[in-house]
Amino acid sequence: MHSPGIRKASEACFHNLCHLPFLGIPEPQSSTSTTTAASYRHVFEVSMASSIYPNSQFTNHESFPSLQESFSHFTKTFPLYSQTDQADKIREQEYYHLSLSNHVCLDYIGHGLFSYSQQRSYSQEATVASASSSSLPSRRYSSSLETPFFGISYKAANLHSQIQYGSHESELEYKIQKRIMALMNLSEDDYTMVFTANQSSAFKLLADSYPFQSNHNLLTVYDHENEAVKVMIESSKNRGAQVMSAEFSWPSLRIHSGKLLEKVRRRRKNRRGLFVFPLQSRVTGARYSYLWMNMARENGWHVLLDACGLGPKDMETLGLSLFKPDFLVCSFFKVFGENPSGFGCLFVKKSSSSVIRDSAGTGLVRLVPARRPSPISEGSANEDTETEEKAKQELHDDDSLQGSSSGPMSTQQTSEKTSELEEIKEISPKLKAPEIEVSVASFESSQSQIIASSGSGYSYLECRGLDHADSLGLILISARERYLINWLVNALTSLRHPHSENGHPLVRIYGPKVKFDRGPAVAFNVFDWKGEKVDPAIVQKLADRNNVSLSCGFLHHILFSDKYEHERAQILETRTGEGGTVLNGKRVKLNSGISVVTAALGFLTNFEDVYKLWAFVSLFLDADFVQKERWRYTALNQMTIEV
């Protein structure tokens, strides 16, 4: 099916063998690379098991080792972790708000464009500009005007016309597009890139433009509910597509290879279609082989790679240089831990662009350069305010897609949005939701962040957040995240309820456990001393009270073999969604799966962050804590928010 060279290269990338010298563990002596790789992974996992304290179990949150003790033991086990301190220096200098706020951000997905220090520079510039115009009538700037860097506005164009004929680009758009292409390790000779409102917009644009009339199938590979995928499925079904999904074996949640292979190799005239594939789950951290992309392509599928859950340097891996997808989607936010607004990007391979059809789909946006507030007359100020409010209303009316893939993981909305948001504010005042900004945002940054284009009045931004990722590099970022996520998994599984039979575990991990080849995300649930699951929405809100931002997810398409069939009823839960059967006069769809809490790490995450999450989860070892917070949750009439 493919050459041995490609297969070996893919497997090497999939198992991250290029990272092996940077583990901080003894190098085993072996005569073969395969044995060496397996030995490395084994030694790593054994070492991680003792990275807290050998054979330790914790039953009382008040007798926890301190942060200093835990970090000392961790660095003794993995001394080369200290070589990732460049990331700590960047965090201290450019993202110092994370320490000042004492807030742990484990809910960001996508890539950060700018640093907090850049945003502060904008704020100072805006303050100076405001003070210089103090003799004029005062004006209140709305949040959209105060938000730095750029704004976005929708374009009256569809994907087909944009790909085939292009459009006029501002210097800002050209520079940011060029910078993103460099980050993604993609050539402008091979791919065309367009800006979208968010990940959901990118998925819907492609679903609206893909020829499902001739290529009938849509095959997705997600172990969790994803809002963008749901939007794509709905759009493709309306256009006659047959939707299929990969299944994931319980309890490992690995792809059931046999069933997916059968779907990919379907021997029918209509077997071709769109294969939607993430290289790793952004909820469980499970990683998938590049070979699936190549196998799908060889069987007549077009491949969409969802890169939203990948790290900022993962596109540099050898596998992605060998297996270039037909389409690729990624997302960007402005400032990690501070400004989750941003945009999505859709890349279309030029050799595959002829497949795109004309459609009425919308979702393309343009980036609007921002200017610093300047002295203006009272009449102009009032006129601008009216224009701004009108633009915001038009954007709100036009935006049928909720949430954003950049920044904190988006949550599904209930019908009573307003009252629910007020309730959430009471219990989680710091919970931030992704937003989409309008084109009236204005900005002219300080001399170090901005290089002005002569005569045009526009500026382009230095994407310092992306520069930081480049300066650290793939190997350092991967090693740092591997240490931290595996330590966290090991720490969470060390928590056990006191006085329960057989030391009932407090936490259950879903998907990969301590494992060399896992991504920097973990899905888990907390259980009380009776073995009953604590609602993930409660855990999320209580974490926010403790200055830890987490997300919730819903695992699905879980396949139980005969060996585990008896666990199905106990493990799975059922909830309703849109579509499906009619029940009591309403059309509902019953979805089976597992609601979970999820934490996602990035290159700015440090040891203190994962320790604080561990310390927070340990509070549930106190049964009174669980009962007390459940009572408060019910008293406040909080509603479950499902991601």
483 and 620 co-located in one domain = yes
335-392 tens-digit pLDDT: 999 988 999 999 999 999 999 998 877 789 999 877 655 444 444 444 444 544 444 4
Grade residue 270 by pLDDT with cuts at 50, 70 and 90: low
319 and 188 co-located in one domain = yes
> Can you give the pLDDT at residue 371?
61
Is 602 inside a domain boundary?
yes
What is the pLDDT averaged over residues 89-100? 96
DSSP readout, 401-452? S-S-SSEEPP----S-HHHHHHHHHHH-TT--------TT------TTTEEE
618 and 482 co-located in one domain = yes
276-335 tens-digit pLDDT: 999 999 999 999 999 999 999 999 999 999 999 898 888 887 677 778 899 999 999 999
Domain end among 305, 336, 369: 369
149, amino acid identity = F
> Can you give the pLDDT at residue 423?
38
Q: How far apart are CA 283 and CA 280, in angstroms?
A: 9
Kindly calculate the radius of gyration of the chain based on its CA atoms and give it in whole angstroms: 25
> Can you give the pLDDT at residue 529?
87
199-249 tens-digit pLDDT: 999 999 999 999 998 999 999 999 999 999 999 999 999 999 999 999 999
* Cβ–Cβ under 8 Å, residues 306 and 276: yes
Grade residue 490 by pLDDT with cuts at 50, 70 and 90: very high
What is the pLDDT averaged over residues 582-593? 62
In which domain, by residue range, is 494 found? 47-107+473-575+589-636
Is 231 inside a domain boundary?
yes
H or E stretch at 297: helix 291-298
> Can you give the pLDDT at residue 465?
95
H or E stretch at 336: none
> Can you give the pLDDT at residue 454?
34
310 and 208 co-located in one domain = yes
Number of other CB atoms surrounding residue 13 within 10 Å: 21
> Can you give the pLDDT at residue 404?
40
> Can you give the pLDDT at residue 459?
41
End-to-end CA distance of the chain: 38
**Of all residues in the chain, what percent carry a pLDDT higher than 90?**
51
> Residue 284 belongs to a domain with what CATH number?
3.40.640.10
505, amino acid identity = P
Q: In a 3-state reduction of DSSP, which class is residue 290?
A: coil
- C-alpha dihedral sign at 175, 180, 182, 186: negative
More confident residue, 20 or 192: 192
Q: Between vectors from CA 627 to CA 624 and to CA 630, what angle results, nearest 5°?
A: 145
Q: How far apart are CA 188 and CA 166, in angstroms?
A: 13
**Range with the largest mean pLDDT of 10-19, 160-169, 430-439, 511-520:** 511-520
Number of domains observed in the structure of the chain: 2
> Can you give the pLDDT at residue 64?
85
H or E stretch at 272: none
> Residue 571 belongs to a domain with what CATH number?
3.90.1150.10
485 and 593 co-located in one domain = yes
Q: Per mean pLDDT, which range of 26-40, 136-150, 193-207, 234-248 is the poorest?
A: 136-150
> Can you give the pLDDT at residue 499?
74
Domain end among 309, 335, 369: 369
575-578 long-range contacts, CB within 8 A, separation 24+: 575/642
If DSSP states are collapsed to H, E and C, what string results for 72-126? HHHHHHCHHHHHHHHHHHHHHHHCCHHHHHCCEECCEECEEEECHHHHHHHHHHH
498 and 607 co-located in one domain = yes
